[in-house]
Structure 1
Amino acid sequence: MAASELIQDSGDVRPHVEVNVTMTNPDTPPHPPRVANGSLAFQASSPTPPADAQKQQEGSKLSSLFRQSQLIHSLSSGLRRHCDYVKITVPEECSNRLPKEWWKTGVAFLYALFILFFTTVIITVVHERVPDKSVSPPLPDKFFDYMDRVPWAFTVTEVNGLILVGLWLVQLIFLKHKAIIGRRCFFLIGTLYMYRCVTMYITTLPVPGKHMVCAPKLYNDSTGKIWRILRLISGGGLSLTGSHLMCGDFLYSGHTVMLTLSYLFIKEYSPRWMWWYQWICWFLSASGVVCILIAHEHYSIDVVVGYFATTRTFWWYHTMANTHVLRQAPNNFLSRTWWNPIFNFLERNVQTTVPVVFSWPVALPSSCRQHYRMVEGGRDE
């Protein structure tokens, strides 16, 4: 006869076991011997095992199957109990939500480059309109009333600015989404310096101190003005390089813009655990701005307007960039800025907040990648 048995587990694992057992019926009489030529012919056959041995063998099979079922049950229950340790979460692919679009970054870079060149032209033009110190003395300034001039303070300002700009460029190179962040930086630099061109052209302030030495006016000498523009560009507009000898670019302070903007980008695109790095950059930025006033190189209003223009433009742009519901909201007054069409052009395909993720700017060689995997594997073990 044939017997089938199913061993089921209470969990998700349900092994199906089928056992075929063949038993002989002892009541059936044996076949009579065959007769050949009138004599009995005996046929040798294999001995049949007794019924008790077959039952014992069947029981041993069932017991082994039962032990296997118990083992499977214990494993499945253990996995259910510790499912949080073996669960693997696959992050959502967001590359299509943060497209690089390097060509847009190139457009923003050309925009900033053109505005910086245009700024040098405006400084050269404004320099011809600055009133003489003997005719128009410096305007009264409350900060100057309480703080005497320190000659070396402006050098501290420019050194701090160079350090901050260098740190930000290195940080930008190692950011994964440098294309998106870079075009934001270039657009804000160009926009802030364009504002500066407008303010210092429409209102020309006298020099803030008698100590300032201004280059002589050229009036109708166009060739001399072109050489001054090229000299100012080659020296980066810094007093350290001796390229900035012109006056009139007071309202508002370009040094304040670069010190403040560099710190804002460093803080925005660095992780929170680098708080010490952020505080060092804040100290460099704040001390550099204060040293502008200590050196009497700008009026207090120049520094205040430069700070407010930089911070508000940075915060408005990033509020619209990180809050996607504002882009199409009808009550969004931030969308009424003149640069909103440019913002939509630069940020149209950026569908999520840009995460702070660092990566190597260039691909590592295969040998370095293999060594890196071996180190990571050793750490995992």
Structure 2
Amino acid sequence: MTSSAHEELLPVCATSNGRNKTLGNGIATRTNVGEISKKKTLLSLILFLLVMTISAYVSVVVNDVRPDPSRHPPLPDVVLHYMTFQVYPEYICAASLVFLAITFLITASMHKYRHVILRRYFGSIAVLYLWRNVCMLVTSVPVTHSDLVCAAKTNGSFYVRLKQSLAIVTTLGSYTDAGSTGVTCGDFMYSGHTITFIYLSFNITKYSRNIGHLLHPVCWIVSFVGIFSLLASFFHYTMDVAVSMALAPLCFTLHELLVENPSLRGKYAVFRLFFPLMNYLEADRDHFNCVIYNEYDWATVRSTIIQYISYPCGKLKL
């Protein structure tokens, strides 16, 4: 093995002054990858938004082919059997989701490696939503309750489907008009809301470990309240939530293990099927090949806040 090949296999970490340090006998050079990191974060965000739009479109398609409630009654469910159909829990579910999303964005914005955290989140959760589309398309499931108001069918119109899809994306999948215009029915297996709840909670817990001792239990409580509200609103069967609660921690742990140990990615190439963009998104030699330590860039956050606050004043002509 040549020295250059040996160097590529060595773990590389970024020091506080921006210079790369190689563990072992290899020598790493200083690289300026800030702009590349931002481009990769933007790419992962575009991928995430595209996948969300596709998922919303698939939900509308599944709603069009949902089983007829008069011929296919709701499936037996042990948990939902002891609940009363309610509409208001959907507001609690939406509020919980917004709270966790804002908390995650604030946590990531204060972190030194904010671009890495964001692109890892967008890139990994997009894979789960893509696989969810497959599960929704292959099997149609009856509605969870006979009183659930489903959205009107689009009769195959691409424009109407796309319009409904964009409405779902802009509301983060939170249907605040379930009692009037209805919700998409049939998009049950598995629960995308539960995936998002757990993924956000895991990311907040991991990347605010030094500052968020009180924040962590609050976020997990909010997460489980949102999941319970999801069931109470009869948006999902218990099976959908149970599968998501098992799948989300497994995929999060696997993804973090692979990005922090590049030797495993080379040894077990089959994992590239689960995370095809991982090697590209993790290819800059600035931060990784080791665990990302929680370092917070308060100066950048403070200057950014001051810049946004002072921007309107700077536009005033006195």
Superposition TM-score, scaled by structure 1 size: 0.66
Q: Distance in 2 between matches of 1:351 and 1:220?
A: 48
Q: Out of 82, 96, 112, which is 2:20 matched to?
A: 96
Partner in structure 2 of residue 114 of structure 1: 50
Amino acid at match of 1:219: N
The residue that corresponds to 1:345 in the other structure is: 280
Deviations 1:293-316 (A, max 9, x none): 223221011101122221111110
1:3-42 → structure 2 map (5 Å cutoff): none
SS in 2 for 1:205: coil
Greater relative contact order (CA < 8 Å, ≥ 6 in sequence): 2
Q: Residue in 1 aligned with 2:72?
A: 136
CA distance in 1: counterparts of 2:156 and 2:38, whole angstroms: 42
Matched with 1:216 is 152
CA RMSD, 1 decimal: 2.5
2:136 corresponds in structure 1 to 200
Q: Secondary structure at the match of 1:238?
A: coil
What residue is the counterpart of 1:236 in the other structure? 172
Residue type of the alignment partner of 2:274: W
- Which of 252, 268, 273 is equivalent to 2:190? 252
Instruction: Find the aligned partners of 1:344 and 1:275 in 2 and give their Cα distance.
Output: 33
Ranges in structure 1 where 5+ consecutive residues have no aligned partner: 1-90, 366-381
Write the distance in 2 (CA, Å) between the matches of 1:251 and 1:300: 10
Question: In the aligned structure 2, how far is the partner of 1:273 from the partner of 1:246?
Answer: 40
1:305-324 matches, within 5 Å, as 305-324=243-262
Aligned counterpart for 1:279 among listed residues 217, 221, 224: 217
Contact 2:123 2:277 in 1 (8 A): no
CA–CA distance in structure 2, aligned partners of residues 266 and 191 of structure 1 = 20
Q: Any gaps of 5 or more consecutive residues in structure 2?
A: 1-14, 22-30, 305-318
Q: Distance in 2 between matches of 1:305 and 1:260?
A: 12
Decide which structure has the larger Cα Rg and report it: 1
What is the rounded CA distance, in whole Å, between the counterparts of 2:213 and 2:301 in structure 1? 27
Aligned to 2:294: 356
The answer to whether the 8 Å contact 1:238/1:244 transfers is no
Deviations 1:139-170 (A, max 9, x none): 00111233334442232122111101111111
1:266 positional shift: 0.2
Counterpart CA distance in 2 for 1:166 and 1:362 is 15
Cα distance 1:363–1:294, how it changes in 2: closer, same or farther (>3 A)? Answer: closer
Give the corresponding residue for 1:270.
208
Residue 119 of structure 2 is matched in structure 1 by 183
Q: Distance in 1 between matches of 2:130 and 2:46?
A: 14
Q: How many residues matched?
A: 273
Aligned pair partner of 2:234 in 289, 296, 304: 296
Q: What secondary structure does 1:274 align onto?
A: coil
Q: % of aligned pairs identical?
A: 25
Aligned residue type for 2:83: M
CA gap of 1:103–1:205, structure 2 versus 1, over 3 A, is same
Mapped pair 1:147 → 2:83: yes
Q: Which amino acid aligns with 2:151?
A: A
Q: Contact conserved, 1:232 with 1:244, CA < 8 A, in 2? A: no
1:41-95 residue CA offsets vs partner (Å, 9 max, x unmatched):
xxxxxxxxxxxxxxxxxxxxxxxxxxxxxxxxxxxxxxxxxxxxxxxxxx77454
